[in-house]
Structures are given as structure tokens and as C-alpha cells.
Structure 1
């Protein structure tokens, strides 16, 4: 299934794509795509519904983040060898964990808002994992059984806030609209191998990132299992799994995003995003 949320910001409804790629309204059977509503049992109930029996959605509505009110927005850093190298860091020997504020979550076509004081605005195409079950101490062998599905995430970053200020990376990762997510939550049954997905990102039509999840240092199985050793993962949690090389920080000269830039990105089978960079209002 390809699940999504559509409609005005703050009043989105859940939807599903039918076989022809048209949006069908799920609001009569699911209140929203959040928490237990994206749990494995809830997805099984949705899977039993014929999308053709649901009301079609007219026109081309705004698309919101494919999950709502995520409990925790987890992230993995330096998870591709060449990205670690371009960042001037050694490839990690275990997953590097950090969080984005849940308030950074936004739709896949919303603008990237450059924060006040920002000088080093960057992009990162990433495979997103949506957790579908309460999970703790799960083995790598069983880890995919806790996954509801996958999505595209742009882990927007402000590198000066991230790397040149005291404290943790979270301050460079959490501004409003720093978490474009979607357009779809693609259920795990439609992604037989999450380690075989091409991913790409362009800025103003120029290729910046082009790689594959096959190049991850730590696989989806390893990431889910590892996180579950230190915390309880909950239905609706998001995990951004790291980005390949090609970020602005690693370029010579560094080509930071500025207002007016157009960013496009996508992952095989999971859809595409597009954002325009805008200045902080006021």
C-alpha cells in the first residue's frame, strides 16, 4: 500500500493510492496516519479494504507528511562511507544516533525555511523507516518485522548550528520544515529489499547526490535492532537512516542552499519530493 495524508495544513486526511495512482479517502476507516493507526494490526485491516470501494479525492490536493505527530524523529548519522569521508570523519564502528525535533516534520513539497542566523544550509536525501510495533531488544534477524513501511526524508541541516556551536547536532537539525517526509508511506510488503533502493537529489537541476541504500554502513535491520537496545521504539516513530555523499558541506567550494534554490529528491518506489528554499519571514 501507498498511504498518504492530504489537505490543508493542520487538517489533513488519510488517503491511499489506488491501482491507477489516484488518491482515495481513508478518513471513513482511519482517523489519521499516526501512532497505532500505522501499527501492524491497523495496516492489516487497511490491506483488506479494496481501494476502489473508497471515495475518490478530486483535483490535486496539498500533500502533507505521510505520518502525523510522530512520537520520536530518530536519525542515524555518517551511515555511508563516502559521506563520512566528505565530513572529515572516520566511518563509525556503530550507528551514530541523534534526533530531530518532531516539530521539524513537514510535507514533501513545503518550502525549506532558512532559519534566522543561518549561513550553512544543507540537504540530505535519506531512506525513512516508519516503526509499526512497540519494539525493545529486537534481534537483527527479527528487526524488519517491526517495520510498518518506508518513505523519503530530506534531513535538512544547518551546518553552522550543527557543527560550530556547543552541544549536540539536534540544534542544526530541528528548525521548522527541516523534516520533509513522504509523499507516501509505502508499506513494508511492497519493499522486499530496503537495501536495494536508488536515491538521488538535485539542486537547481544539478545532480548532487546519486547512490543506493546498498551502500549503507549499517542496514535497516541493524539500525532498528541497535536503536531498540537503548529505547523503546513506538508505532509511528520515524528513523532517518543517513545520507550518501554529495552534500553541500562536502563540496569544494561548499555550495550552501540559499533562498530561491529548488531542491528535488527521490528514492526508487517511494516517490519524489520538491522544495523551494525561502528566507525566514520577517
Structure 2
């Protein structure tokens, strides 16, 4: 079952995405669960899956505008340099780091599936980064590695769009290059997490205009999903609905010679087995 947040006829809503259309669960159960985050906070994903089963679609997928699945998360944290070839791209002679690199993103810096990534007038260096993304379902602090997967509610995808030259504006921080409004995307939907096989060794691929630019498998991540949750929860309390973006493979546009930046009209697809495909176009910001 796939669940999404979306706009329909000017109304914010959430529901199930099926082959026959959209089941508007917020119209039926919004009083109990006003958002997908509320569903996750109440550990109700299995329940709404049962409620959606067998119900007829209320409208076509073409009638909605996708939002990011968790529209108001407390935290969005991103893991940097989490694939071996990505570490090698830095050409600094360093082996894989003992601790993961992390940075925050704000919900406003993302848009939904089918919407354009926005290139700002301040820089042409809009780049793509396809990434697996986990949604926290059970909160906690100092979560043990062995228990970590039990804290995942769902999986989704991210195009962690980046303004490359702004990443280098400061000496030791990338935040300003990672948080331009609508420069990245999350979605299209969330898929409930059931067991480790869903993410242990799945193919992750990014395409630009149909050309494969990034391709790797989650089994090759330097820091696995258990480690990510355990490490982050050491210094901050994770809460239901938190979003963790888990790192991108080699092949971003910045690594070509010369670099290949995204431009208006490009189509970027991020695909992972068992989750789906997150698709976005690119457009210039209109002041």
C-alpha cells in the first residue's frame, strides 16, 4: 500500500494511491488523523491500510498535486558521503570516515513528485542527488543498533537537490547550499516498512532525461540504516514523522568534467526497487 499527501481542488489531503486512482482517506478519517504524520504518530499505518483495502478510488491521480509525504516533520536530517565511490570522489586520500557527516534540511526546501525543482537566479549550479529515505515511526533516544529498524515506519525517496557553489560558501558547513526553496523533492509516497529485506540490498538509480547518472545498491552504504538511526539518536531525540535522507551514490552532475548542471526542461527520476519512481522537472524561479 502506498500513502501520499496531496492537494485536491485547493484542499490539503492524504490518502492511498492505487492503480485505479486515489482513495481520499483524509475525507473519511481526517478527524482522527489530520495528516500522515498523525497516522505515524499513532502507529496507525497498518490500520489505515486495512481501512483502504477494497475501497473505490475517489478521483484520478491526475487530479491531485503531490506534496511531500510528511508535510510538517519536526526534523529532516541528511547523511552525506555514504557510498564508497562517493567518498573516493573527494580525492583527499582519506579512508571511509569513522563517523557520518550530517546536515539539516527544512521542509520548505522540498517539493512533491511531479513538481519542478526550482533553480534560483543566484546560481546555475542546481544538482541532483537520488537517495533512499526513512520515516521514523517510533521515537527514542540512544536507540541501540539492534533495535533501530523497529523505529522505522515507512520508506520513501528523495532528490536531495543542491546548489553546489553555495555549499562552499562557508568553511565547514553545507546548510546554505542545501536549503533553497523547492530545490529538492521527496516522494512520491511512503511505503510502510515491514522487514529488513525492503531496504537491505535494493537498487537505487537516478536518471536525467532518461540517461542513468547514479546507480548503486543500499548494501554498499558505508553507514547502514541501523547505524544511522543509532548514531543520530545519540545526540537528538527522534520523534515520529522525522525524515532521514540516507546518502547518494556517485555520479552527481558536479563530478563530471565539465560539471553538468540541471537546467529548465530537464526531467530527473529517482527510482528504487519496491518503492517507485520520484519524478521532477526543472524550472527557473519566477520572482
Output the TM-score relative to the length of structure 2.
0.90
2:197 & 2:49 partners in 1: Cα distance? 17
Q: Which of 31, 34, 40 is the equivalent residue of 1:38?
A: 40
User: Deviation of residue 57 (structure 1)?
Assistant: 2.5
Quote the residue 2:84 is aligned against: 81
Quote the residue 2:224 is aligned against: 219
Quote the residue 1:70 is aligned against: 73
User: Deviation of residue 246 (structure 1)?
Assistant: 0.4
Quote the residue 2:21 is aligned against: 22
User: Deviation of residue 37 (structure 1)?
Assistant: 2.1
Counterpart check, 1:141 vs 2:151: no
Counterpart check, 1:95 vs 2:100: yes
**1:119–1:87 CA distance, 2 compared to 1 (3 A):** farther
Quote the residue 1:124 is aligned against: 129
**1:74-122 Cα distance to aligned partner (Å, 9 max, x none):** 0000000101211335332111111112211320221111123113211
2:260 & 2:9 partners in 1: Cα distance? 31
Give the conservation status (yes or no) of the 8 Å contact 2:119–2:183. no
- Most deviating of 154-163 and 57-66: 57-66
1:223 & 1:190 partners in 2: Cα distance? 17
Give the gaps of 5 or more residues in structure 1: none
Query: How well do the aligned residues superpose, as a CA RMSD in angstroms?
Result: 2.0
Output the TM-score relative to the length of structure 1.
0.92
2:132 & 2:10 partners in 1: Cα distance? 25
Give the gaps of 5 or more residues in structure 2: none
**1:28-78 Cα distance to aligned partner (Å, 9 max, x none):** 1232112x4223622243244242236533352222212111111100000
SS in structure 2 opposite 1:12?
strand
Give the conservation status (yes or no) of the 8 Å contact 1:39–1:131. no
- Most deviating of 47-56 and 156-165: 47-56
Give the conservation status (yes or no) of the 8 Å contact 1:39–1:148. no
**1:92–1:48 CA distance, 2 compared to 1 (3 A):** same
Instruction: Count how many residue pairs are aligned between Structure 1 and Structure 2.
Output: 280
Quote the residue 1:186 is aligned against: 191
2:6 & 2:196 partners in 1: Cα distance? 23
SS in structure 1 opposite 2:254?
helix
Give the conservation status (yes or no) of the 8 Å contact 2:20–2:57. no
**1:21–1:97 CA distance, 2 compared to 1 (3 A):** farther
**1:74–1:237 CA distance, 2 compared to 1 (3 A):** same
Quote the residue 1:159 is aligned against: 164
